Structure formats: structure tokens, C-alpha cells
Amino acid sequence: MARTFPFPAGGLVSDKMLAAYEADGFLVLTGFAPAGTCAALRRREYELIEAFDPQSVRTVFSTEDQAHARDAYFRDSGDRIRFFFEAGAFDAEGRLTRDKHGAINKIGHALHDLDPVFAPFSHDVRLKRLAEGLGLEQPEIVQSMLIVKPPFIGGEVGMHQDATYLHTDPVTVTGFWIALEDATAENGCLFAPPGGHLTTLRERFHYDGGALVKTTLDPRPFEDATGEPLEAPEGTLVVLHGLLPHRSGPNTSARRRLAYALHAVDGTARWSPDNWLKRPAAGGSAA
């Protein structure tokens, strides 16, 4: 794949990398996180879930019906660390059908600020340099997520654009998606169409008064609703332009697909005040 590169020394973007990113809307950068770092982050993920009481909350995260958007537990998670379940984690009586480690969909959305292990990893100076090299004048992290994608029930995430959820004027949101375990087509890797970012923003997910709503801006379907697989070995960083349509398949395999995702915006752009995610008064944290 021509747009796959070794992670650059110091995070400094080469001309070839920048040209590939501008043409395709994504980069696959191998070797960002060494094996020891990935192992430490996996241990921390285990500790977070181990300390979580699954009886304390039952919020299911689903991109299909967006039911979580009606739940204050989700709405108020922008500056907290909260736990969201897979849709298939409960039986008809609302009981967990598996161990909690195999039932979590994701953990978010302020690990980059609050967690003693994920915070320093999130603020690696190489990420800041990479963001600057890709055009973010003043990169600020606004969201972080551990996306578990557990075996057998890891849910599909439909084709979407990150700017739908984290909107600035102009559009600047950029995703930094790190594979903490191998991500393949079998266990739910990312899919994206090369050049798909050269299009319009289709939807906004935002507050309208007290309600979270999804507003259609452009009713046309995406030109490519499938994309190509962005398989990512452990430690790989995938960069995603905010207008790039991307998705991930369900995980019906016996192997988990753990990833850590950061989203940054340019602090010089106007943050849309009706965004679902409510930032701290001082803004997001610097990348």
C-alpha cells in the first residue's frame, strides 16, 4: 500500500507522507508504539475494566440507533472516563451474557487528561509534531477512546466522518488511531476509500436545544460506501482526515481488536458550541 510508511523519526512529516495524506485522506504509519508500550497500555485497559462495577451503569454504545445519545452518562463524558457496553452484551432480562472484559465497547472520553498511563502517552511530542506537519497550526486533543471490539460481539461501526461529531469552522478534526493489538479484516479493522475526504460533510451530530440530533447537510450517499481495509499491525498509527468516510466491520472472530483513538482539532479554528462533546472551559488539552 503506497500510503503506508514507517513512523517518521521524531514525528517529522516527509514530503511523500504529506502528499499521500493530501491525496488519500489517511496515513498508515507502522512502528509508532513499541511492543512494550502496547503491552503497558493493554495492562492499564485491563485494570480500568477490572475496577469498573458493571452494575453501576448499563449504557450501550451503538452507532446504529444512537440510543446512548439520550443518556446523561454519555452526554457528560467529555471530561470523564466512562464505560460503554456492546449491544450484544445483555440478554432479554438485561443481564450480562459474558465477563465484563468481553462486554465493553469502549472507554472514553478524557483518558488523555485524566488517566496516569494514557495521558503521557497521548501527549507524546511526536504526535504534536505529526499533527503540525499535517496542517494543524495549534493541535489540541479534544477526545480519547479505548475501543475494545471484543471477540464475537464487537459491533460494526458504519461509514461516517469524524467532523460530524467534532465540528470546527473550518473543518480541522483529525483522528490518530493506534492499534494496541493487530487489526485485520477478520477482527474489525478500519476501512476507508482513498481520496474520500475530497467531499462535503454529510451530517452534523449536535445539540438542538436540550436534544442531541443528527442533521443532514448533504443527502448524497458516500461515493464509496465500502472502502479498502486499513490493516494495522500492533503499534501502528492510522491518521484520518476529519472529512474521510471510514468504518469498521464487526468482530466475529475469537481475537479481540483493541485500539486507542485520539481526536485533535486546530485551536485556531472556531469550535462549534453545539457539538455534543462539551470541552473544559479552557478548551482541549494541547497535543
Q: What is the pLDDT of residues 19-67, one digit of tens each?
A: 999 999 999 999 999 999 999 999 999 999 999 998 887 777 555 555 5
Mean pLDDT, residues 62-88: 79
Mean pLDDT, residues 110-139: 98
Residue 120 confidence (pLDDT) above 80: yes
Look at residue 3 in the predicted model and tell me its pLDDT: 78
Among 68, 92, 96, which Cα is nearest to 82's? 68
Residue 281 confidence (pLDDT) above 70: no
Mean pLDDT, residues 109-116: 97
Query: In the predicted model, what is the mean pLDDT of the chain?
Result: 93
Residue 216 confidence (pLDDT) above 80: yes
Look at residue 183 in the predicted model and tell me its pLDDT: 97
Other Cβ atoms closer than 10 A to 90: 16
> CATH number of the domain that 57 lies in?
2.60.120.620
- Alpha-carbon distance of 259 to 180, in angstroms, equals 5
pLDDT tens digits for range 182-191? 999 999 999 9
Residue 280 confidence (pLDDT) above 80: no
Torsion angle of the four alpha carbons 232, 15, 227, 174, in this order, in degrees rounded to the nearest 10: 80
User: In b/e form, how buried is each residue of 44-81, taking b as 16+ CB within 10 angstroms?
Assistant: bbeebbeebeeeeeebbbbbeeeebbebeebbebbeeb
Q: Is 77 in a helix, a strand, or coil?
A: coil
Torsion angle of the four alpha carbons 162, 212, 93, 95, in this order, in degrees rounded to the nearest 10: 50
pLDDT tens digits for range 163-210? 999 999 999 999 999 999 999 999 999 999 999 999 999 999 999 999
Determine whether 125 is exposed, middle or buried from the number of CB atoms within 10 Å of its CB (0-12, 13-18, 19+). exposed
Look at residue 284 in the predicted model and tell me its pLDDT: 67
Other Cβ atoms closer than 10 A to 2: 9
Residue 83 confidence (pLDDT) above 80: yes
* 232 secondary structure, DSSP code: B
Residue 234 confidence (pLDDT) above 90: yes
- Alpha-carbon distance of 115 to 80, in angstroms, equals 10
> Rounded to 5, what percent of the chain is helix, strand, coil?
25, 30, 45
Task: Give the type of residue at 15.
Answer: D
Look at residue 80 in the predicted model and tell me its pLDDT: 95
Determine whether 160 is exposed, middle or buried from the number of CB atoms within 10 Å of its CB (0-12, 13-18, 19+). middle
Q: Structural domain tally of the chain? A: 1
Q: Confidence class of residue 138 from pLDDT cuts 50, 70 and 90?
A: very high
Q: How far is CA 55 from CA 19, 66, 88, 240, in A?
A: 49, 22, 16, 35
The residue among 72 and 120 whose pLDDT is bigger is 120
Look at residue 282 in the predicted model and tell me its pLDDT: 47
Structural domain of 36:
4-286
| pTM given for the model | 0.94
Look at residue 94 in the predicted model and tell me its pLDDT: 81
Mean pLDDT, residues 152-168: 95
